[in-house]
Amino acid sequence: MPSVWDLYLDANDATVLLEAIVTLERHRWVREPLPLDDAVALHERLRIVAGIAAEDAVYWAREAEDRREAAGVDGGRWGSPDVAHAMAETAMNLSRGSHEVEAAARAAAADLGGRLVG
């Protein structure tokens, strides 16, 4: 199994991968160390993270819509329109963050996958 560092020449060459790692860390998507010593395992992990992030983004977008609807009525389960509106904004922020993670992980997986094949 090649290490990630066997496939990239330097930090400039690894920009897409490093940006993905920073994005995953920033959004707290890394709960255990990434397998940088095993490029195949890292590629698979990035693909899994991208899929989960995509599902997460859809979930939070739906939640945001539900919360916006509640804000337009009586606040629903949130008790007041103001709280429901604030919760809708929070859900949209979570959805945006998940989209960022998905895009970064997909880009890094594609870049790494191309290097594994080539």
pLDDT at 10: 84
Stretches where the chain sits below pLDDT 70 are: 118
Query: CA–CA separation, 98 vs 110, rounded Å?
Result: 18
Between CA 91 and CA 57 the distance in angstroms is 9
pLDDT for residue 76: 77
| Structure confidence at residue 92 (pLDDT) | 97
Tokens 């606040």 appear where?
75
Tell me if 42 sits within 8 A of 14, measured CB to CB: no
Tell if the pTM clears 0.95, that is, is over it.
Answer: no
pLDDT at 86: 92
Distance of alpha carbon 30 from alpha carbon 34, whole angstroms: 7
pLDDT value at residue 118: 66
Tell how far CA 45 is from the center of its chain. Answer: 12
